[in-house]
Amino acid sequence: MEQLLEMAGKVSDKAEIYSVDVRGDSVSFENAHLKDIDSSIQSGVSLRIMKNGILGFAYTKNLADREGLIQNALDSLKGGVEGSFDLPLTKDLPSLNTYDPLAETLSNSAMVEECSRVCEILSRKTKGQINISASRSTGSIRIINSSGTYLSWKSSAYYLSPHILYPYSSASLHRVLKSKGFAKAADEYLNFLSDTYDQSLKEVNPEGRNLKVLLLPETLYVLIWRLQTATSGLSIYQNISPLAQKSGEKIFDERLSIYSDPLNDSLPHARAFDDEGTPCSFFPIIEKGALKNFYCDLYFSMKLKTPPTGHGFKGSISSKPAPLLTHLCVAPGNKSISEILKSIDRGIIIAGALGAHSGNIPNGDFSIGVAPALYVEKGAIAGHVKDVMVAGNIYDTLKKVAEIEDTVYPSHGGNFPAMLFDNINVTLKK
């Protein structure tokens, strides 16, 4: 990489080299039987250069042809993409514990054994079909640039994801277990899945009036996704965010706080720097209902003439960095999930969302099918409901927070608690 940087520096004004190596194994079970074992490797090197204020980019899976990679980056300058931002000089970062050496030696047979154990336990407790997957991964990143930055990062992660399917349906109850290294699924975790499933197994047909709505952590991303889009530097630059002029204003319920916490190394994939070498930090988005910050990568901080915030991340080796709000957390409340359920006279639990992409996302609109939709009556789960739709706008919905769970769980998009809302538009098929 150092040789590549030296070569690129001779034909450009600024240069950045990014390399990644990720290795993983996964196992999956269908109907409590082993279905598949898979292994994957993702590795490569990308090069960004800037010359005469224009940005060039190229990538390769290996460095056998450095001259060719540099020529590809030079050829891409013809696209005329502006690139007059400074590459950071980053050093003296906090030391984070992001790697468990035991993850390196975690075998497929050990993951198969754990999945078999979980399947056996859940099969004894429920009558639903059990599908489950487990995976482990180790990865490393290196970033060097012409400003003098030399950074490296190594991480490990283990995931377990059991699903219990409802009869004659693809809808399932699920919850992800996530850690830096292997961890057996605890009884409390498995009991939540089996007990909730058993209580909701009966199909019911309630009236669709005056229902409260409880989003489980697994579905809260439907709302958070819209907020992520609205607070992105990309949306601000494109003038499609309804929040552009509302910095500092109270826009949601005062109990709601949402932040990015990449330095929290109790969770997998903690980061001290982003994929451009910019330092990461604790970063509030919403604080007690008020809008605090927008987030940017280097490119859009240049466009908006604001400091970069450490949120430039790549989707893959073949993509350029873009603003991405990673390591997202919703601050927990002060009531357990059982206490929240007891407070519901009649309501719907959104345990799975269909069509989360529907609606005008930058504007905050959502319209989703709910599967499974669990029905709560007089403080207890009474069954599940088919053909349920929920729609609204986050700038209205997130003002109607009734309760927030006191525990957060790893979910799609971050670490979230369950959240109860009043007066959301729920449609039940007669």
- Percent of the chain having pLDDT more than 70? 99
State mean pLDDT over 302-318. 95
Does 183 lie in the same domain as 214?
no
Whether the Cβ atoms of residue 273 and residue 90 lie closer than 8 Å to each other: yes
* pLDDT-derived band at 423, boundaries 50, 70, 90: confident
Which segments within 175-281 are labelled E, that is strand?
177-179, 212-215, 258-260
Does 161 lie in the same domain as 187?
yes
Does 402 lie in the same domain as 274?
yes
How far is it, in rounded angstroms, from Cα 353 to Cα 364?
A: 16
Token pair belonging to 33: 């039987």
- pLDDT in the model for residue 424: 86
- Per-residue pLDDT of 9-40, as tens digits, reads 999 999 999 999 999 999 999 999 999 999 99
Does 248 lie in the same domain as 223?
yes
On the question of a cis peptide bond just before residue 101, with omega within 30 degrees of 0, the verdict is no
Instruction: Give me the domain span that covers residue 287.
Output: 203-430
How far is it, in rounded angstroms, from Cα 379 to Cα 299?
A: 50
* pLDDT-derived band at 340, boundaries 50, 70, 90: very high
* pLDDT-derived band at 69, boundaries 50, 70, 90: very high
Higher per-residue confidence, 64 vs 213: 213
Label residue 134 exposed, middle or buried (CB < 10 Å: 0-12, 13-18, 19+).
Answer: buried
Choose one of 165, 194, 223: the last residue of a domain. Answer: 194
Label residue 10 exposed, middle or buried (CB < 10 Å: 0-12, 13-18, 19+).
Answer: exposed
Does 8 lie in the same domain as 71?
yes
Site of tokens 């889009």: 229
- The values of phi and psi at residue 301, to 5°, are -70, -35
Does 84 lie in the same domain as 61?
yes
Choose one of 172, 194, 216: the last residue of a domain. Answer: 194
Tell me the three state secondary structure of residue 340.
helix
- pLDDT in the model for residue 207: 79
State mean pLDDT over 231-256. 96
Q: What is the CATH number of the domain that holds 131?
A: 3.30.2290.10
Does 215 lie in the same domain as 138?
no
Does 276 lie in the same domain as 159?
no
Domains in the chain: how many in total? 2
Does 326 lie in the same domain as 243?
yes
Choose one of 135, 165, 194: the last residue of a domain. Answer: 194
- pLDDT in the model for residue 64: 86
Does 88 lie in the same domain as 139?
yes
User: Which residues make Cβ contacts (< 8 Å) with residue 85, sequence separation at least 6?
Assistant: 50, 298, 299, 301, 302
Does 398 lie in the same domain as 259?
yes
User: CA dist 2 to 10, 150, 272, 409, Å?
Assistant: 13, 10, 22, 41
Does 175 lie in the same domain as 45?
yes
Q: Quote the mean pLDDT of the chain.
A: 95
